[in-house]
Structure 1
Amino acid sequence: MNVLIAKTVDECEQWTDVAVVVDVLRAATTVCALLERGKKDVLVFGDAEQAVAFAKAHPDFEVYSELDLPVAHEDNSPYVASRSNARKPALVVTTAGTKAVTCARQASLVLAGGFCNFYALAEALTSQNKDVLLIPSALYGTSDDVEDGLCVQALKDFIQGIGTPEDAIVEFNNTMRYGEFMKQGPKSAEKDAKIAFKVNGLPVVPQITCAKEGYGVCHAYGTPAPAQWLDEPPAEASAQEADEPAEEAVQEAETPRSATKRIKNFFSDILHAAKEEKAELEKSVQPAAAPEKTVSAPQSDDLLDEVLKQSQPAASQTPRAAEPAPEQPAAPADKPAPAAQADAPREKASGLRQSVTLPGEVTFSGKASGFGGKAKKKAIVLFSGGLDSTTCLYWAIAHGYECEALTVSYGQRHDREVLAAQMIARNLGIKHHLITLNLPWLSCCSLVDKNQTLPDVALEDIPKEGIPSTYVPGRNLMFLAIAGSLLDASGADAIIAGPNAVDFSGYPDCTPAFFKAAADALNRGTKMGVTEGIEVLAPLMRLSKTQIVQLAAKLKVPFELTWSCYAGGQKPCGHCDSCKLRAKGFAEAGIHDTSLD
C-alpha cells in the first residue's frame, strides 16, 4: 500500500484507488460530528446551486455552510453540528471540503476526516488493499489552510510508523493561521477548534458514496449508504425559486394538516434535544471507558498477511499504559488555550495509538502504483546474503519484480556473507553487483576491526544496550546512495531493503524515520526520482524475527545458504547478537535452521 499526498486538482479527479479528503476546521469535521451525533442521512454538495435546489425540494434537511445561501442554514460549524437534532437529515456545502469530496468521484473508495477521527481513519486505511491518496481540501480553497497539509502529512507519517498527530497540532498552534482563525473565524471558532483538534474525539470514519447527480451520500465506513439518496435526483429549482427564501416555499405548499404536524414535530424535537443534552451531561460526569480498537494487517500481501495472523502474540491485543501528554506551549493570557490542550483525550488517544498493529510491509514512495505503464517492475535489492536480505530478494521475485542484487563489501572481518550472497544470486540466475569500499575510518566498528571483541550479551538485554559496537557508521546511508545510483543508471522502479525495527540491535539506520528521509532524498536527487518517482520498499520493517522466519519458509528461502553470524567461520558462533536473534526467530517459529546442519 502506497500513501501519497495530492499536489494538484487533476490528480484528485483522476485517482481511482482510495481517496481521503481532509478538511480539519470545517467540512470533514462537521460531517464527522453529524454522523457521530447519530444522523442517518447526511449529504455533501460541491455545487452551491445544486445544494440550494435540493434544500428547497427537501425543507426537512438542515443545511450547514459558510456560504451566503438563499435558504435557511447553519454555519459550517462542527460545534453546531455536534448539538443538532439526531433525527433530522443534514446537507453540507462548503467552499473547499465538499468540493474536494465530489471531485474525487472516480476513486473506488472515498473517506473523510482529520485530527478528530485520526486513529479511526488510520485503522480504516491500513485495512485497504489499494493505494491511498490524501487530499488536503486546501487544494480547492486557499493555501493559507495549513492545518489540512499538516494533518495529511501526519497521517501519512503515522501509517509509516513515524511521529504522532499531537506533534502536528503543536506545530499548527505556532502558526499565524491559528491566531487568525480564532480572531477572524466564526463565532464558534474556539469551540470548533476544540472539536477539530481533539485527537480521535469523533471516532467515526465518513465514507462518501457518489449519487447519480454528483452529490455525496455520507455513511459510516463499512455500512451501506442510504439507498433513497443514491437513486433520487435532487429536484430542479427555477431561477425565480432560487431567489425566494426556503420558508416561503414551504408555506406555499403547506396544508392545515401538514402545519399541525410540523408544529407537533417542532415541540417534539425540542423535548428530544433536551433529553439528549441531559444524557450527555450525565455521561460527562461519569465517562464510560473507551472501547479498545485495533488495526488488522492489510490484505495486500497474502503470504505476509498469513504470517502476521499466525504469529500475532497475545500481548499485542492489549493496549499499553497511557503515555503522559507532552508539554504544549503556553498561550498568551489574552488568547484561548491552544486547541491541542483543550479537553484533549490523551489517555484515550494514546491507548488507541499504542494498540494499532500496522502492516509488516512499509513503502516509502515517490509515486503511485502503475509503474508508468511498464509491463515489468524492476528492483535493486540490497543483498548481504543474510536471512533478512535473502527473504527480501525472494519476496521481490514472488511479487513479480525483475531483480538485480547489490552487495557491498566494506571490509567486514570475514567474507562468509559475501560468498553466501554470490551463491544465492547464482542459483537464482539474477544479475549480481559486488561493490568494494575501502574506508579506513570504519575500523572503529567491531564488525570490521578483528582486534575488537564482538558483543556477547543476553538475548533479553540486546534492546537495552543502546547502539552496539557492531554498528557501521552510515552503512545503510551509503548502501541506499549506491543503490540509488544503480537504479538511476538501470531505469529500475524500486529499491528493496531488509531493515527491521522490531528484533534488531538498535542501529539508527534501521528505523522507519531514517528510511523515509532517505526515500525523500532519493526522490529529489535522482533522475528517476524527479521524473517518474521511485519506491523504497522495506517488507520486513515491522515483522519480528519469528515472523520473518515464517515468511521465509513460505517463500522457500534456502536457509542453509544464508549467513548471519558476525564472526564468520565454518559454523555460526551462536554468541553474537545476530546469531541470538536468528536462533530466537527459528525457535519461536518452530522451524529448523538448516544452516546449523
Structure 2
Amino acid sequence: MDNLLDLLTTQDPPTHVVSVVSGGLDSTTMAFALHALGARLTLVSFDYQQRHRKELAAARAIATRLDADHEVIDLGQLGALLSGCALTDASVEVPEGHYTDASMRSTVVPNRNAIMLDIATGIAIARGADAIAFGAHGGDYAVYPDCRPAFVDAYATMVATANAGFLPTNFRVLAPFLLMSKAEIVRQGSWLGVPFELTWSCYNGQEVHCGLCGTCVERRLAFELADLPDPTTYADPDAPATQDACAVGNGGELDVTR
C-alpha cells in the first residue's frame, strides 16, 4: 500500500493505473495526483443503479479533462439485489448528518469496494497495468469496513495470491488517501488544480447537492477546514456542519511494503 507522500516521491512510480473513479472529490483528486506522476490512466466507474447515478457524468467529465480512457461497468442487476441500502433501495431514505452517526450504516453497499476492485484488477491484468487505485480516506473508517487499512492490506494479499504468475512485477494496490482527512485531500486537490466544481458527492442525486446528507456535510466541512472556497452549489447552503465528519479514523500503522 502507498500513501500520497510515497506516490509523489517514489523513484519507481506506477506506469499504468486502473483507477476506480466515482466522480467524487476523493477519487478525482487521486486521479489528478496519478496523472501528475505521469502514469497512464484507465478510469473505471460503476453503474449499480445507485440513487446518485449523476456521479457518472462527473466521472466522464474528469476523464475528458485528463484525456484518460474511461470505462463504465454496468452492474445494474447486481445493484437491484443489494436491497436495504439507501444508495440502491428507493424505499430507504438517505440519512442526514455526518459519518459518525449510526444512521449512516444505511449507506453501506455490501462488499462494494471489493467488488469494484476485483473488476479493476481483472482489467489491469488484461491491459498490463501495474497498479489499481481507489480513493478511500481516513474519514470513511467509522462507517465503511472496506475503507479501512486492514481491508486494503488483506485485499493486496488476496490479489497477489489469486493472480500469482499473471501480475506485472511490483503490482500494487494503491490507496493514497488512506491516512488523510477530507480536508487534507481538498488541500492536495487545490495544489494539483483539481476542478472541484466538476465533481459530485451528494447521495440524493438531485439537480444540486442537498447539503444535508453525510457526504455533503463532509464535503462542506472539508473546504471549511482547508480554508478554501467551496465551489459547490447546495440546496441548503446554511445547514451546519460538524468537525467530526472530517476526522481521520483510528487506522494505526499500515503495511506500506506492498
Shorter-chain TM band: 0.7 to 0.9
- CA separation of 1:299/1:418 partners in 2, compared to 1, >3 Å: closer, same or farther? closer
- 1:310-361 CA distances to partner (integer Å, 9 max, x unpaired)? xxxxxxxxxxxxxxxxxxxxxxxxxxxxxxxxxxxxxxxxxxxxxxxxxxxx
Shift of 1:430: 0.9
1:576 pairs with 2:213: yes
- 1:110-151 CA distances to partner (integer Å, 9 max, x unpaired)? xxxxxxxxxxxxxxxxxxxxxxxxxxxxxxxxxxxxxxxxxx
* 1:203-218 equivalences in 2 (<5 Å): none
1:445 pairs with 2:82: no
Letter in 1 for 2:159: L
Question: Which of 501, 511, 514 is the matching residue for 2:148?
Answer: 511
Q: Which runs of 5+ in 2 are unaligned?
A: 235-258
Counterparts of 2:114 and 2:7 in 1: how far apart (Å)? Answer: 28
Shift of 1:300: 6.7
1:434 pairs with 2:72: yes
Shift of 1:533: 3.8
Counterparts of 2:210 and 2:103 in 1: how far apart (Å)? Answer: 22
Letter in 2 for 1:397: H
Letter in 1 for 2:201: S
Contact 1:383 1:406 (8 Å CA) reproduced:
yes
- CA separation of 1:485/1:537 partners in 2, compared to 1, >3 Å: closer, same or farther? same
Q: Secondary structure at the match of 1:393?
A: helix
1:454 pairs with 2:103: no
Contact 1:488 1:528 (8 Å CA) reproduced:
no
- 1:442-477 CA distances to partner (integer Å, 9 max, x unpaired)? 1221111122111113x4xx3252761010001000
Please tell me the root mean square deviation across aligned C-alpha atoms, in Å.
2.5
Contact 1:466 1:506 (8 Å CA) reproduced:
no
Counterparts of 1:299 and 1:532 in 2: how far apart (Å)? Answer: 18
TM-score (norm 1): 0.37
Question: Which of 12, 19, 29 is the matching residue for 1:381?
Answer: 19
Shift of 1:389: 0.4
Counterparts of 1:377 and 1:385 in 2: how far apart (Å)? Answer: 22
- CA separation of 1:520/1:570 partners in 2, compared to 1, >3 Å: closer, same or farther? same
Shift of 1:595: 2.6
* 1:248-287 equivalences in 2 (<5 Å): none
Question: Which of 369, 379, 394 is the matching residue for 2:32?
Answer: 394
- CA separation of 1:526/1:588 partners in 2, compared to 1, >3 Å: closer, same or farther? same
Which residue of 2 is the match for residue 478 of structure 1? 115
Shift of 1:503: 5.1
Contact 1:380 1:483 (8 Å CA) reproduced:
yes
Q: Secondary structure at the match of 1:536?
A: strand
Counterparts of 1:382 and 1:416 in 2: how far apart (Å)? Answer: 16
Aligned length, in residue pairs:
232
Counterparts of 2:6 and 2:42 in 1: how far apart (Å)? Answer: 27
Q: Which runs of 5+ in 1 are unaligned?
A: 3-159, 161-296, 303-367
Contact 1:404 1:432 (8 Å CA) reproduced:
yes
Which residue of 2 is the match for residue 348 of structure 1? none
1:556 pairs with 2:196: no
- CA separation of 1:379/1:528 partners in 2, compared to 1, >3 Å: closer, same or farther? farther
Counterparts of 1:556 and 1:465 in 2: how far apart (Å)? Answer: 35
Contact 2:140 2:147 (8 Å CA) reproduced:
no
Shift of 1:569: 1.1
Shift of 1:299: 7.6
Contact 1:564 1:579 (8 Å CA) reproduced:
yes
Shift of 1:402: 0.6
Counterparts of 2:100 and 2:182 in 1: how far apart (Å)? Answer: 14
Question: Which of 124, 131, 135 is the matching residue for 1:487?
Answer: 124
Contact 1:494 1:537 (8 Å CA) reproduced:
yes
Structure with larger RCO (C-alpha < 8 A, sep 6+): 2
Which residue of 1 is the match for residue 230 of structure 2? 593
Contact 1:397 1:403 (8 Å CA) reproduced:
yes
Shift of 1:530: 5.0
Shift of 1:429: 1.3
Counterparts of 2:220 and 2:26 in 1: how far apart (Å)? Answer: 13
- 1:223-267 CA distances to partner (integer Å, 9 max, x unpaired)? xxxxxxxxxxxxxxxxxxxxxxxxxxxxxxxxxxxxxxxxxxxxx
- CA separation of 1:568/1:300 partners in 2, compared to 1, >3 Å: closer, same or farther? closer
Letter in 2 for 1:584: L
Q: Secondary structure at the match of 2:107?
A: coil
Counterparts of 2:168 and 2:188 in 1: how far apart (Å)? Answer: 34
Which residue of 1 is the match for residue 43 of structure 2? 405
- CA separation of 1:472/1:503 partners in 2, compared to 1, >3 Å: closer, same or farther? closer
TM-score (norm 2): 0.82
Which residue of 2 is the match for residue 98 of structure 1? none
Letter in 2 for 1:468: R
Contact 1:524 1:530 (8 Å CA) reproduced:
no
Counterparts of 1:299 and 1:411 in 2: how far apart (Å)? Answer: 35
Shift of 1:301: 3.4
